[in-house]
Amino acid sequence: MKWTTGNRDNIEDLRGSTGGGGGLRMGGIGLGGLLLMLLLSWVTGVDFLSLLGGGGVDAPTTNVQPSAPPADTTAAEEKAVDMVDAVMGDAQTVWQQLLGNRYRPTTAALFRDAVPSACGFAESATGPFYCPADHKVYLDLGFFSELSSRFGAPGDFARAYVIAHELGHHVQSLLGTETQVRRLQSSRPDQRNALSVALELQADCYAGVWGYHAGQGSGRRVTLERGDVESGLRAAAAIGDDRIQRMQRGRVAPESFTHGSSEQRVTWFRRGLDNGDVNACDTFR
């Protein structure tokens, strides 16, 4: 994947900031966080996945202001920051073109270890996540190493898929899909997991929609190269519920899926990649 650097106006750099208080209220869960929730549920017998989608403690009151890059950063880390900025900028250009005035730009808040958000105080173990309360994508860059080493999905486009997936949740929030799903989950608790899977698979499809349009048109910041699509598809397969459950439990429990199986995630990501049509991403039918 080729990309160009910019002025980082799609980034809030919180890596050198500290913020206070509050507990975690999950309006959604990141890709890495799913692994942690499954492990805690298995060890303790408590269904931590039932926390997805609402409830919890109050959001922290401490405001964290963006800062300059931390003094202990590296050239490799700064390159990753520029890549996130490029993907966010390119993807938001696509969504602005597709949705017109319905789209509202957002930012990726980069942090280390832990961060207070409008959805609660989250740690790196939560993984990348989107907070609908403040409309921001949150990302600890350390997850990229985990994506490669633990999940076996290296490469810039694998990382771009993760970013585009979380931005897909922003699109769902703007279109009202996220709110509708949360209401349905409250009124139909028996459908909570199935609705969560549909929501996540649609975000995968939206990530694919961006991938289809990446590099098309002048002035764009991301261009795909040979092998990028395969890299993204490997990432989608690597984080399927069935694969993660098998890693942690040694068995698969489809009734507890919240993000979809590897096959489902690949299928919907591929659907977006193949045609770039938002209307092809109706995972709720």
Please write the tens of the pLDDT for every residue from 171-180: 999 999 999 9
pLDDT, residue 85, reads 98
Name the residue with tokens 């700064």.
78
Q: What is the pLDDT of residue 212?
A: 95
Start-to-end CA span in the chain (Å): 33
Separation between Cα atoms, residue 248 and residue 227, nearest integer Å: 30
Residue with tokens 């790196």: 124
Listed residue (86, 92, 116) closest to 106, CA to CA: 92
Name the DSSP letter for residue 59: P
Mean of all residue pLDDT scores within the chain: 85
Q: How confident is the model at residue 125 (pLDDT cuts 50, 70, 90)?
A: confident
Residue 226's contacts (CB-CB under 8 Å, 6 or more residues apart) are none
- 48: confidence class by pLDDT, cuts 50, 70, 90: very low
Determine the average pLDDT of the residues in 104-126: 94
The mean pLDDT value for 62-71 works out to 64
Query: Between helices 156-175 and 192-213, what is the axis angle to 10°?
Result: 120
pLDDT band at 26 (very low <50, low <70, confident <90, very high): very low
Confidence of residue 65 (pLDDT cuts 50, 70, 90): low
Q: What is the mean pLDDT of residues 69-76?
A: 90
Residues pairing with 115 in the sheet: 122
* pLDDT, position 64: 55
243-275 in b/e form (b: 16+ CB < 10 A) is bbbeeeeeebeeeebbbbbbebbbbbbbbbbee
The answer on pLDDT for 231 being more than 70 is yes
Percent of the chain with pLDDT over 70: 81
pLDDT score at 52: 43
Quick check: 165 pLDDT over 90? yes
Least confident of 26-30, 145-149, 196-200, 251-255: 26-30
